[in-house]
Amino acid sequence: MISSSINQRMGYCGKLAQLSLRVAEVVTVNDYLAHRDADWMGRVHRFLGLSVGLIQCVDLNFPRKPTKSGPAGRGMTADERRSNYRRDITYTNNSELGFDYLRDNLAGSSGQPVMRWPRPFHFAIVDEVDSVLIDEGRSPLLISGEASKDAARYPVAAKVAELLVRELHYTVELKDNSVELTEQGIALAEMALETSDLWDENDPWARFVMNALKAKEFYRRDVEYIVRNGKVFIINEIILHLTIRMLFGNIHVDNLTMSLLTGRVEEKRRWSGGIHQAVEAKEGLKIEADSVVVAQITYQSLFKLYPKLSGMTGTAKTEENEFLKMFQIPVIEVPTNLPNIRNDLPTLAFATARGKWEHVREEVESMYGQGRPVLVGSTSVENSEYLSDLLRERKIPHNVLNARPKYAVREAEIVAQAGRKNSITIATNMAGRGTDIILGGNPKVMSKVKVRASSLALLAKTALMVRTLVETNDVAKYVCKSKGKSHTYQQAKSIISESVEMGQSTEKEELLKRVEEQSEMHPLCPSIALAYHSVLKDCEEHCSNEGWEVKKLGGLHVIGTSLHESRRIDNQLRGRAGRQGDPGSTRFMVSLQDEIFQKFSYDTEWAVKLISRINNNEELPIEGSVIVKQLLGLQINAEKYFFGIRKSLVEFDEVLEVMLPCFELLLHLE
């Protein structure tokens, strides 16, 4: 099912599950979707007499006080979580569900757990089920405690890693991100560290040196991470381990987000096993304490605890066998609501990355000349900014959406405009999976942005007038001194945002009534909300007209700039175009210098010679059934490899699962 009606059908399924089993969880991939669906479908559930709960990392219903260090809202308390888990239908995201389960199993008394014990799991419906059970299947959820203080060893190991030469002192295996020291490498490392044995139990250096080499070879700045304010922040490109620290005997849960392959920064997430410290040392930053695992579970094992499990997604067919083998869940294909008329153009293969990027620029320029909106998917911050520079040289206006804070804060606005005429958007593994890019633009987001910008501009102008008046009027000076600091700029922005949200959720007639009732005391919020309604009407008309123009031009054109390790991820990018029966087209362009070819030992030298022989030019592409068959085989091999990893993780967890129910029963007995 590739229509965005998935969420609506999930809501109905949740109702049916609740009627038969009395308890149901609807699991999404992030807080935003959980909050949205609980609000949207919750109205139907409550109308039918059911209670609806919501579990999220940040309580968006709490009065908003956004800061530079974190989002608006606050974390949910244990009592709030306990209350919401006891509702008939509970909406949450996969990471919150997993960590609540792990925390409950570390509880010191029977009164501390928040889930429904002794049977916390009954029925679950998982949105984007392939993302949760397959893509994130390589990532155990971890709760960790602080380990020994070895911070001083990491910078020393980083310097040793700089001395070692690849292939001479160590070898690398790109497929599984592993390194192995040669005899010469061991000898040089031992000499540099003045030790006779890297693996000496009393003075162990091997782990630090190996991690330093991994940081050097596999963890690249602006690809796997960025450095900001003296700290390393992970770019969510490939999920590894999630870390939670136990501080002073209390479990402190970091604010984690789990959106796979979004290209977003994971502000509170750290690599485990000493990797994060090794990267910090490589960058010359302050080293934070290492950690040891005290509890862990994989998503496969977590969801296998449900007696009844189901899910929905638009890209599960390629993993049909894995769903059946691992979870005994058959995959049923549901026809689309409207015919899919998207045109998937043949993949183009280039010998060199330079040839590929030049061709990407030419195709973007061609589509821009036609007026069609274009979405370009890249796999790293570095690549997105490289393409941005190429387009800037041709003076082609465009938007960039990647992990850089200056871009991330405009994500909603950028996505809302990605379907407009002449719009060019470059995104690192596009965030907002499951959200339509509306041809002609999203009128609701457009209205919100315009009202907020106008209100803030008026606020700034008024503040300047008050400041001028204070300089000449004693009464104004007194009033400003006593009251002027009661609303900061950030608070004013919050009031404006809340007012716009009031406009989004309140009928126009009700707003007119509130404006009249509050005309003397507090007219600001309903007035701004009413302004939103007026602007929305104009934006809806404009977006509708522009949408028809874009459809006539051929709809959204999506360009993929590299193959992923799974065909599903490529299909997700393709699925950004041609949604809800709209026209659209897609094209993938790959080069033999892309990472997937290096990682899975593809014979790139042979392929380069083949391309050169066919074209007499390494920078010209080839297309056809032969190259497509080769690329498909490469992706299938990658999928098999990672399926083996996921299977091994589940087998490891199954050893613990034999005795776990007994321990849980003892723990939660009154």
CATH architecture of 343-376+385-395+557-651: 3-Layer(aba) Sandwich (3.40)
Amino acid code (one letter) for 517: E
What span, in angstroms and rounded, lies between the C-alpha atoms of 527 and 20?
A: 46
What span, in angstroms and rounded, lies between the C-alpha atoms of 211 and 201?
A: 17
DSSP symbol at 226:
E
Q: What is this structure's pTM?
A: 0.65
**Torsion angle of alpha carbons 290, 292, 295, 299, nearest 10°?**
60
**Coil/strand/helix, residue 428:** strand
Where in the chain is CATH 3.90.1440.10? 152-295
What span, in angstroms and rounded, lies between the C-alpha atoms of 588 and 573?
A: 10
Residue of 483, 485, 495 lying closest to 458 (CA atoms): 495
- List of residues 6+ apart from 627 with CB closer than 8 A: 347, 349
pLDDT at 67 over 50: no
CA-based Rg of the chain, rounded to a whole angstrom? Answer: 27
The owner of tokens 């007696």 is: 307
| CA 265 to mean position of chain CA atoms | 8
pLDDT at 482 over 60: no
The H or E element containing residue 632 is: helix 625-657
Amino acid code (one letter) for 499: S
State the pLDDT at residue 357: 92
State the pLDDT at residue 602: 58
**Coil/strand/helix, residue 585:** strand
Most confident option among 123-127, 130-134, 376-380: 123-127
Amino acid code (one letter) for 62: F
State the pLDDT at residue 498: 60
pLDDT at 21 over 70: no
The angle that helices 153-163 and 206-218 make with each other, rounded to 10 degrees, is 60
- Is the peptide bond prior to 118 cis by the omega test (within 30 degrees of 0)? yes
Task: Specify burial of residue 522 (Cβ count, 10 A radius: 0-12, 13-18, 19+).
Answer: exposed
| DSSP notation for 375-398 | EEEESSHHHHHHHHHHHHHTT---
Residue of 625, 631, 618, 624 lying closest to 590 (CA atoms): 631
What span, in angstroms and rounded, lies between the C-alpha atoms of 600 and 594?
A: 11
| DSSP notation for 286-304 | PPPPPEEEEEEE-HHHHHT
CB 643 within 8 A of CB 321: no
What is the percent of the chain where pLDDT is above 90?
Answer: 18
User: What's the start-to-end Cα distance of the chain, in Å?
Assistant: 45
Most confident option among 158-172, 259-273, 314-328: 158-172
What span, in angstroms and rounded, lies between the C-alpha atoms of 565 and 25?
A: 30
Where in the chain is CATH 3.40.50.300? 1-142+296-327, 343-376+385-395+557-651
pLDDT at 312 over 60: yes
pLDDT digits (tens, 9 = 90+) for 513-534: 665 555 555 555 666 666 767 7
Give 485's pLDDT tier (boundaries 50, 70, 90): very low
CATH topology of domain 1-142+296-327: Rossmann fold (3.40.50)
**Which of 191-195, 369-373, 531-535 has the weakest average pLDDT?**
531-535
CATH superfamily entry for domain 152-295:
SecA, preprotein cross-linking domain (3.90.1440.10)
